[in-house]
Amino acid sequence: MKESPFKGKRGLSRVVNALGYSLDGLGAGWRNEAAFRQVSLLAVAGIVVAFVLPLPAWARAVVVGSHVLTVIVELLNSAIEAAVDHTSLEKHHLAKRAKDLGSAAQLVCLGNLALMWALALFGR
């Protein structure tokens, strides 16, 4: 088993390494995952619109937070899919369940995003 890249690292060097791994993950998501690119672009557009519209601070905060959450959930969904595919490319009911659950999490998150936009626009 491969040793953890963090083993023995402390302080600032650990933080710098962790940042590098996180940036690698964002880059991998952007290069390899169309859904990540789509929710990221949706987030950028939605956040810009949230700051252009005359929304109250609470509405802007929930809309921005909901957009960020969709990006986070898509990263986790993509990680689940990659881990399942790494384990085996054969069809298996547990692999399907894992992928479907990740997809369902994103669906719930996008539903939440739509609800937050509705509250921000019409909940005054």
Give the CATH number for residue 105. Answer: 1.10.287.3610
Q: What is the pLDDT of residue 8?
A: 66
Q: Is residue 3 part of a domain?
A: no
pTM score: 0.87
Q: What is the pLDDT of residue 11?
A: 87
Q: Is residue 1 part of a domain?
A: no
Instruction: Of 29, 36, 30, 4, give the one whose Cα is nearest residue 17.
Output: 4
Question: In 3-state terms, the chain is what percent helix, strand and coil (to 5)?
Answer: 80, 0, 20
pLDDT, one tens digit for every residue, the chain (124 residues): 666 665 667 889 999 999 999 999 999 999 999 999 999 999 999 999 999 999 999 999 999 999 999 999 999 999 999 999 999 888 999 999 999 999 999 999 999 999 999 999 998 6
Check 33, 74, 81, 90 and give the catalytic one: 74
Q: What is the pLDDT of residue 89?
A: 82
Contact between 39 and 70 (Cβ < 8 Å):
yes
In the annotation, is 74 catalytic? yes
37 half-sphere exposure, CB direction, 13 A CA radius: 7
Q: Structural domain of residue 62, as residue ranges?
A: 34-122
Overall number of domains in the chain: 1
Q: Is residue 8 part of a domain?
A: no
Cα(15)–Cα(28) distance, integer angstroms: 20
